């Protein structure tokens, strides 16, 4: 077994043992350990939240006085401590609904969005970056000043354009790959701290 497969299996088993819905919960746990994204009482929006691993991490981190909302096109099994909305993040009605539920703006916006991968690299990269741009567009509407965000991206030619956009909207922007990501995958995360508003 290759080391990357062993790592993947390790996190999959760990997630199952700890009751997380997905291995990717460990990516968010590691990102939070490094960059302190969440605080108690935070209001968090998770864009593309299925199957709910990131929601589980967020619920734990913000505590019972926080608020966690997930949005996805797929049906997501109910999760205690989270409000799950079924819909498209590009639908203005959904976003207005989120602002109404929160009764304010969010402290944290998360996006682990990924396209259905075709295996044709240029197309997959372009689709993923397009999703990230949509997620950022939502974040601009619902993130409060000095709020934090995390966006998944695929490495490639279009990445710099997204980074430039984020750099002009956040005080600090960091590109990183958590240990729970497969090292040979092109998946990276952009951690954005202190939204300029």
pLDDT at 14: 86
Q: How far apart are CA 167 and CA 76, in angstroms?
A: 32
pLDDT tens digits, 70-86: 999 999 999 999 999 99
Q: What is the CATH number of the domain that holds 62?
A: 3.40.50.150
One-character DSSP codes across 58-107: HHHHH-TTSEEEEEESS-----TTEEEEES-TT-HHHHHHHHHHHTS-EE
The half-sphere exposure of 118 on its side-chain side, counting CA atoms within 13 A, is: 9
Number of domains in the chain: 1
How far lies 127's CA from each of 51, 64, 79, 121, 134, in Å?
Answer: 20, 36, 29, 10, 11
Structural domain that includes position 178: 3-195
Residue positions annotated with a catalytic role: 152
The half-sphere exposure of 9 on its side-chain side, counting CA atoms within 13 A, is: 6
pLDDT tens, residue order, the chain (197 aa): 455 566 667 888 888 888 899 999 999 999 999 999 999 999 999 999 999 999 999 999 999 999 999 999 999 999 999 999 999 999 989 999 999 999 999 999 999 999 988 989 899 999 999 999 999 999 999 999 999 999 999 999 999 999 999 999 999 999 999 999 987 888 999 999 999 98
Q: How far apart are CA 16 and CA 102, in angstroms?
A: 31
């Amino acid at each position: 077994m290759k080391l990357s497969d062993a790592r993947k299996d390790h996190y999959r088993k760990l997630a199952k043992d700890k009751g997380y819905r997905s291995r990717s919960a460990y990516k968010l746990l590691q990102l939070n350990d490094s960059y302190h994204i969440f605080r108690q009482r935070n209001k968090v929006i998770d864009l593309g939240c299925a199957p709910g691993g990131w929601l589980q991490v967020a619920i734990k981190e913000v505590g019972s006085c926080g608020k966690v909302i997930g949005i996805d096109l797929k049906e997501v099994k109910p999760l205690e401590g989270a409000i799950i909305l079924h819909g498209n993040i590009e639908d203005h009605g959904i976003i207005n609904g989120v602002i109404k539920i929160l009764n304010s703006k969010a402290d944290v916006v998360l996006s682990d969005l990924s396209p259905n991968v075709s295996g044709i690299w240029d197309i997959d990269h372009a689709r993923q970056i397009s999703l990230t741009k949509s997620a950022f567009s939502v974040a601009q509407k619902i993130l409060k000043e000095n709020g934090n965000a995390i966006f998944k991206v695929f490495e490639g030619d279009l990445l710099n354009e997204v980074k430039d956009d984020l750099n002009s909207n956040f005080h600090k922007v960091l590109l990183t790959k958590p240990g729970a990501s497969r090292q040979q995958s092109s998946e990276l995360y952009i951690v954005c701290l202190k939204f300029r508003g």
